[in-house]
Structure 1
Amino acid sequence: MTDSPAAPTARVDLVEAPDTVLATLAALRTHDAPTHGGRVLSYVYDPGVPELDELAAGAVRAMQPVNGLDPTTFGSVAALERDVVAFARALLGGDDDTVGTVTSGGTESCLLAVQSARDTWLATRGLRPGEARPRLVAPVTVHAAFQKAAHLYGLELDLVPATAAGPSAGAVDAAAIGARFAGALADDVALVVVSAPSYPHAALDPVGDVAALAAGAGLPLHVDACIGGFALPFWPGLPDWDLRVPGVTSLSADLHKYAFAPKGASVLLHRDRDRQRAQYFATTRWPGYPVVNPTLLGSRSGGPLAAAWAILRALGTDGLATLADRARRATLALRDAVDGPDGTGIEGLRVVGSPVGPLLAVATDDAAPADRRVDPHLWADAVAAHGWTLQAQPGLDQADGTRLPHTTHLTVTPVTEGVLGELVPVLRSAADEVRGRPRPDATALLGALPPLDASAVLDSAAAAALLGAVGLGSVVDGSDAEPAPGVGPMAPLLALVESLPAPLVERLLVELLARLVEPRPS
């Protein structure tokens, strides 16, 4: 039943005319990084097909007033979700017993996978949340959403070092992760997680080997394919990594990445119904309507679901394959541009490991003479000066004493193929501009900080003062140009991130982001 065209309307005096409001919004958008055209190689997933934008906008508009809270009232929600889950499970190796949920994004999919595993682990032991802390075993490269999940759901996070060098750089060794739950160690493990691929380095973890070890120990295995789920099915030459692998019990894949839906859509698949039911929250113990939620949200817009459904209908597997192949060709071209043979690459840089899927990470080539090396963060800043956005990533000292290098990340989309003629020369010239320059030294910034008590809890004012001491005062106090405050070059900031203790950096970053969205002084 649709809304009646004869429904009564109400008059209200608008403070601003809709056209004026939309013009203000358009002006604000001019300060954003471009979401189309391929100049931002992170955050956005541009298929280069304008018709899909229009289709998605129309689908969102059609479902704008629909509340996904109750599919018994809004049956269209149930119908769309059935279709999306059916498409995903067919693509990702599921069968008729595979069930799933459309969520608001990869983080929610990962949170729900952990919640389901934790509650199943507790139920089999007759325990309630808070009465025990099971472990979540995963590579150190697993998405930060799993750190959030462990924090929220009270699990011990057991992170296994990844391979630090060579073709397998960034991937976890199956034996190393298996050792964390071998024999009696398995009893307190609620979930094992691997990535297909990992975001930082595009490394495909050994899903089959880890799945065999997990199944042998009677443990569930989640494959985080949030970034690769709708691209890797079309990547040639890969071992099985999805629900085709015996022992994989759940899998997450983002519709708003390589299925090209607008932000706010992911899918979580479970191999069996009982584990999926464990992610639900239900209560009748209040005087309102019975609450039954498969996701963290209660009321939720039907728009992202409708847009994802519409794009999958329009593209089908053939369309997804075509777009994935464009992204694949662009990725290979960029890898060749950096690592090309016989001196055709970018001297002083190297691609990390053997990346899988439409993404890669670039590090300093330590085999080059010191005066010919290129720092990847200085390189990213130089590329940004030419109007292109890459993503700087800090290095990480692992528990086994090895170090994952600081890198620059590139997410590649189908539209990238069409701009390679502009992008590759910029990547080369930017490297020439910073070749031989040392990485920024955080010593001066650290020296500007007052004496720090590592055990002290920073309040907002103290955290803001520290940000001011390292040159971010104009962002913190709102004096930076509105509406697009910036933090300047990323290389010095990332050097500082690596030089300070992680808890302190995290607190400062919280303060920085919180201050960015605070109302300005009147």
Structure 2
Amino acid sequence: MVVSSTATDSSENVQSTFASRYVRTSLPRFKMPEQSIPKEAAYQIISDELMLDGNPRLNLASFVTTWMEPECDKLIMDAINKNYVDMDEYPVTTELQNRCVNMIAHLFHAPIGEEEIAIGVGTIGSSEAIMLAGLAFKRKWQNKRKAEGKPYDKPNIVTGANVQVCWEKFARYFEVELKEVKLREGFYVMDPVKAVEMVDENTICVAAILGSTLTGEFEDVKFLNDLLTKKNKETGWDTPIHVDAASGGFIAPFLYPELEWDFRLPLVKSINVSGHKYGLVYAGVGWVVWRTKDDLPEELIFHINYLGADQPTFTLNFSKGSSQIIAQYYQLIRLGFEGYKNVMENCMENAKVLREGIEKMGRFDVVSKDVGVPLVAFALKDCSKHTVFEISESLRRFGWIVPAYTMPPDAQHIAVLRVVIREDFGRSLAVRLIADIEKVLKELDSLPSRVQPRVETKDGNGGGHANKKSEREMQEEITTYWRNLVTGKKTNGVC
């Protein structure tokens, strides 16, 4: 460490050995320094700190792309100073975005001709895409209710409890009730029957997930479409469907072309997909496309001219970089249908290798499905001594970042590990991960248990059963588990 000219608290200052060739005093962490420093020193200080970050290639928690070809990296750097919103100044970039929208719309079987312009927009990610789609549904529902002279102040969306947090954000930010279909053990996606039962006249849409974050499973959008069509006829409503295809939108068309989940189903009015997941682009770019122009209310589109020519815009963000849009276009034309299909098939093959290795250990139940996103989610068969959270913690010693988490209500007593298979996770890494998991299990077996047994009670027939816990109690237990894990105390934990 550099010896400062004055005594300082290391928790309030940033120090770097190599930067001492240029700067001998440490820098404040939370205030702007008074003096400038050489560029070499600034680089080295930041580079030193970033070494403590995890390796993106070994971050198996993330669906987000962590590798692209050098040619695309160069295109990204060439466009790093372009602001996408300046459409008049960068018309070619705008054209590339429009081409991407049309390619994706055709991929999802939008009812448009070869020369027609699809209705859609590039976003920062699927979170923004979902916000835009939700706003379109809310405004269409409100306009219809106003025209009918009915109340329009209590909109709701029906989803499964397995939805990504961005749906909860949309509901809270834009004052829409989120009606969630609870999960159950062994069934970790939305039940279409229960979802349709929850639909009422205030439902602005039902959101289905093509590739659950929890298990990678595709929800049955066709069955949902059929059930909802029947209910709409019976009630006179016209409740639509949005498909959150953030993870699966760039998988299903290539691996499961016969699967009906997209605009082939009449009630599907909009779809979002993450270009930075299996669209194979670095974070962050997402896409949202609508079935027809009528599905996007005109009043949500703004027209500006203070950047040049008249420009229509429908986004939550204004300024954003052009690089990811250009990178998405590169991938679409570079790989084509054949290339994407090859990448997804390879990912699924590597997922199979990992799945078989996990199953062969005999210690886990694999809860992910064969059809869906290429990932492997698995739970301990016996968590009476150790938990998946301990396994996750131990794997970090080998560089692996493998998340452990509990399922949403009413399956929150199930905890799993999840490994996402991306393009840059090859078979050799899968084999290595299997070996490291086996090492971790062997080490944990030799250690005393951190899990205290739950209290058993006797029922009226003399049979034993564990005390049932409320959702709040379960969450408190999980919080206590993590706190005690850090301190090394024994704890009551979930599997």
TM-score where L is the length of structure 2: 0.76
Label 1:45 to 1:493 Cα distance change in 2 as closer, same or farther (>3 A): farther
> Aligned residue for 2:6?
none
Shift in Å, 1:278:
5.3
1:82-481 matches, within 5 Å, as 82-96=98-112, 98-126=118-146, 132-165=153-186, 169-181=187-199, 185=200, 187-216=201-230, 217=232, 218-236=238-256, 239-277=259-297, 280-282=300-302, 292-339=312-359, 345-355=360-370, 356-365=372-381, 375-398=387-410, 403=412, 405-418=414-427, 419-435=429-445, 440=451
Shift in Å, 1:353:
4.7
Deviations 1:228-259 (A, max 9, x none): 11122222487322223332111111110112
Aligned residues: 422
Shift in Å, 1:429:
2.0
Label 1:386 to 1:81 Cα distance change in 2 as closer, same or farther (>3 A): same
For 2:79 and 2:300, the matched residues in 1 are separated by 24
Label 1:117 to 1:440 Cα distance change in 2 as closer, same or farther (>3 A): farther
For 1:347 and 1:151, the matched residues in 2 are separated by 43
Label 1:19 to 1:94 Cα distance change in 2 as closer, same or farther (>3 A): farther
For 1:251 and 1:492, the matched residues in 2 are separated by 46
For the 8 Å contact 1:135–1:156, the answer to whether it is kept is yes
For the 8 Å contact 1:223–1:242, the answer to whether it is kept is yes
For 1:201 and 1:494, the matched residues in 2 are separated by 25
Shift in Å, 1:432:
2.8
Q: SS of the counterpart of 2:170? A: helix
For the 8 Å contact 2:75–2:327, the answer to whether it is kept is yes
Could you tell me which of 67, 73, 98 is aligned with 1:57? 73
The percentage of aligned residue pairs carrying the same residue is 17
> Which of the two has higher C-alpha Rg?
2
Deviations 1:112-153 (A, max 9, x none): 11111111111212289x960201100111111101000011
Give the residue type in structure 1 aligned to 2:75. A
Shift in Å, 1:281:
4.7
Give the residue type in structure 2 aligned to 1:259. G
Structure 2: segments with no counterpart, 5+ residues: 1-34, 233-237, 455-471, 473-478
CA RMSD of aligned residues (A): 3.7
For the 8 Å contact 1:378–1:491, the answer to whether it is kept is no
Q: SS of the counterpart of 1:69? A: coil
For the 8 Å contact 1:380–1:392, the answer to whether it is kept is yes
Structure 1: segments with no counterpart, 5+ residues: 1-13, 340-344, 444-453, 455-466, 473-486, 499-522
For the 8 Å contact 2:351–2:374, the answer to whether it is kept is yes
> Aligned residue for 1:31?
52
Label 1:492 to 1:281 Cα distance change in 2 as closer, same or farther (>3 A): farther
For the 8 Å contact 2:111–2:292, the answer to whether it is kept is no
Label 1:406 to 1:94 Cα distance change in 2 as closer, same or farther (>3 A): same
Q: SS of the counterpart of 2:361? A: coil
Deviations 1:299-327 (A, max 9, x none): 22212212222222222222211211111
For the 8 Å contact 1:119–1:278, the answer to whether it is kept is no
For the 8 Å contact 1:103–1:268, the answer to whether it is kept is yes
TM-score where L is the length of structure 1: 0.72
For the 8 Å contact 1:89–1:269, the answer to whether it is kept is yes
